[in-house]
Amino acid sequence: MLLDRDLRFAGMNQAYLDVTQRTREELIGAYVMDIFGAAEGGPGHHDSQRLEASFRKVLESGDSDHLALLHYPIRTRAPQGETLFEDRYWSCTHTPIKNDQGEVTHILQHTSDVTELIRARPTQDGPRSALDEMLGGGVFRRAMEVEADNQRLEAERRQLSDVLLNAPGFVAVLNGPDHVIQFCNEACYRLVNHRDILGSTVKQALPELGEQGHLDFLNDVYETGEPVMGRQRAFNLQHSPDGPADNRYMDFAYQPIRDENARVIGVFVQGHDVTDVVMAAERQKLMIDELNHRVKNTLATVQSIAMQTARTHQDPRSFADAFEARLMALSHTHDLLTKSHWEGADLRSVLEHETRAHGAGRLSLNGPLVALSPARALSLGMIFHELATNAAKYGALAHGDGRVTVDWRVINHSAPQLEIIWSETELCGILG
């Protein structure tokens, strides 16, 4: 009989109808397990599950499967017309039928009714001929052992497949010299943006890799039988065949797959996307380089402040006071820049920090939002500190009724320039 991919009857011969005691009209289009399945917990349920599992295996693997001995009852009718179920034993072979693309479209089941062979086995105490031995302990026992081994191997295969499918790193199995993609796990699919690559060659599915030399690595593994390893290698992968490339970094291993004669028949691909690690390392290097640059600039600034302070303050005490005040001004601007991760500072914030000690009520700050680079913020911070210090000692802020007004604006927007006006006044007039 013939099943489609949904396990519905697509055809059967008269011999199948006779042995199952069904009509063609009953079976065509019906789901096979609705017809020959057994209720959970009922007789034949375990073998019913084996039958369905065999069909599913053929659909998934594309390979034939065999059930040496299958026990399930079939429906019969007694002479009086009532429905009965008769124990039957079967031996089944399930063969995939494929289209031109190699896809399984149908399953051909060849079923042999071996009930009479099972019933013909002699009792344990009766005489045993050579044929009895074959029927009772030979062929069927070995067939069942082979099937049990196949079931164990299939369980192991499924377990291994589940492990590889859910592995955190990408895994692929390539077959033959053209590297046909036979297996690809979920991480691998995510890497190629879930493109339909199974069954295609690497060159067909991922042509961009050939241009980057990665196809040569696979060829080397297949031809020499030697593995190829890579660490933090750049891969430019396209999200779609005509889309832009996305630069990724990978750790990978290409290992040869050998047959029982040690001949290379494919390549096992395994690896991890380490793009985040590489980018983090690059950012760290940039940060360290920037930190070194800032430390050098800060030390140069401190050295300049020390020299200028020494020229105008000969007395050690006055030098210490002036030097400390200037360092604090530098520190205030550093605090502002740290809050912005050294991306810059707002002009108003720099002014407020450097004039805060003199009382906000005596200062008027007027101007638009102006973003300063770190270098400009440090320079203007020192300038505003000196102006505020001079105003406190000799200017408007030295008098109880004096005020400081700071106005700024951006002029010549085609080539922007910042104009800052610092004005000091008291009741008797303008000081400077």
Q: Which of helix, strand or coil describes residue 394?
A: coil
Confidence of residue 129 (pLDDT cuts 50, 70, 90): very low
In this prediction, residue 124 carries a pLDDT of: 52
**Strand runs labelled E in 56-121:** 65-71, 74-77, 83-86, 89-98, 104-113
In this prediction, residue 225 carries a pLDDT of: 93
- The mean pLDDT value for 17-26 works out to 86
**134 occurs within a structural domain:** no
- The mean pLDDT value for 288-296 works out to 76
- The mean pLDDT value for 298-308 works out to 77
Distance of CA 81 to the CA centre of its chain: 63
Confidence of residue 241 (pLDDT cuts 50, 70, 90): low
In this prediction, residue 344 carries a pLDDT of: 86
Per the listing, tokens 């006055």 go with 318
* 330 and 222 inside one domain: no
Q: Are 184 and 198 in contact (CB under 8 A)?
A: yes
Kindly report the CATH number assigned to the domain that includes residue 61.
Answer: 3.30.450.20
pLDDT at 141 over 70: no
**333 occurs within a structural domain:** yes
Q: Are 352 and 358 in contact (CB under 8 A)?
A: no
Question: What is the CB neighbour count within 10 angstroms for residue 256?
Answer: 19
Confidence of residue 147 (pLDDT cuts 50, 70, 90): low
- The mean pLDDT value for 116-135 works out to 56
Phi and psi at residue 75, to the nearest 5°: -80, 135
In this prediction, residue 219 carries a pLDDT of: 93
* 260 and 295 inside one domain: no
* 266 and 313 inside one domain: no
**87 occurs within a structural domain:** yes
Domain boundaries, position 316 = 284-393
Q: How far apart are CA 422 and CA 363, in angstroms?
A: 10
Tokens linked to 126 = 């009766």
Q: Are 430 and 424 in contact (CB under 8 A)?
A: yes
* 371 and 268 inside one domain: no
Q: How far apart are CA 222 and CA 210, in angstroms?
A: 15
* 295 and 267 inside one domain: no
For residue 334, give the nearest of 282, 289, 297 by alpha carbon. 297
Distance of CA 146 to the CA centre of its chain: 40
Tokens linked to 355 = 């004039």
**399 occurs within a structural domain:** no
* 113 and 178 inside one domain: no
Domain end marker among 246, 273, 300:
273
pLDDT at 138 over 90: no
In this prediction, residue 144 carries a pLDDT of: 63
DSSP codes joined into one string, 373-397: -HHHHHHHHHHHHHHHHHHHHTSGG
CA angle 417, 421, 424 (to 5 degrees): 170
pLDDT at 391 over 80: yes
* 256 and 195 inside one domain: yes
**137 occurs within a structural domain:** no
**268 occurs within a structural domain:** yes
What percent of the chain stands above pLDDT 70?
83
* 219 and 257 inside one domain: yes
Pairing of strands 403-411, 363-366: parallel
Q: Which residues pair with 230 in a beta bridge?
A: 252
Q: How far apart are CA 167 and CA 356, in angstroms?
A: 59
CA angle 387, 389, 392 (to 5 degrees): 110
Please provide the average confidence, as pLDDT, over all residues in the chain.
82
Our count of domains for the chain comes to 3
* 222 and 289 inside one domain: no
Domain end marker among 119, 134, 151:
119
**128 occurs within a structural domain:** no
Q: Which residues pair with 86 in a beta bridge?
A: 74
- The mean pLDDT value for 183-187 works out to 86
Q: Which residues pair with 234 in a beta bridge?
A: 249
Confidence of residue 227 (pLDDT cuts 50, 70, 90): very high
Under 8 Å CB-to-CB from 273, ≥6 apart: which residues? 169, 170, 187, 191, 248, 249, 250
What percent of the chain stands above pLDDT 90?
25
* 389 and 334 inside one domain: yes
Q: How far apart are CA 253 and CA 229, in angstroms?
A: 4
pLDDT at 385 over 80: yes
* 238 and 311 inside one domain: no
The pLDDT tens digits of the residues spanning 32-45 come to: 988 887 666 666 67
The pLDDT tens digits of the residues spanning 350-375 come to: 999 888 877 778 889 999 999 999 88
**33 occurs within a structural domain:** yes
In this prediction, residue 77 carries a pLDDT of: 64
Q: Are 170 and 269 in contact (CB under 8 A)?
A: yes
The pLDDT tens digits of the residues spanning 308-346 come to: 778 878 788 888 888 888 888 788 888 888 887 778 889
- The mean pLDDT value for 39-61 works out to 82
pLDDT at 131 over 60: no
* 9 and 106 inside one domain: yes
- The mean pLDDT value for 386-397 works out to 87
pLDDT at 25 over 60: yes
Answer left, alpha or beta for residue 431, where phi above 0 means left and psi between -120 and 50 means alpha.
alpha
CA angle 29, 35, 37 (to 5 degrees): 130
Q: Answer yes or no: pTM beyond 0.75.
A: no
Give 48: exposed, middle or buried? Use CB within 10 Å, 0-12, 13-18, 19+: buried
In 212-315, where does DSSP find H-type helix?
Answer: 214-224, 275-312
Q: Are 217 and 228 in contact (CB under 8 A)?
A: yes
pLDDT at 9 over 80: yes
Going 307 to 310 to 311 to 312, the CA torsion angle's sign is positive
For residue 424, give the nearest of 376, 369, 367, 355 by alpha carbon. 355
In this prediction, residue 367 carries a pLDDT of: 93
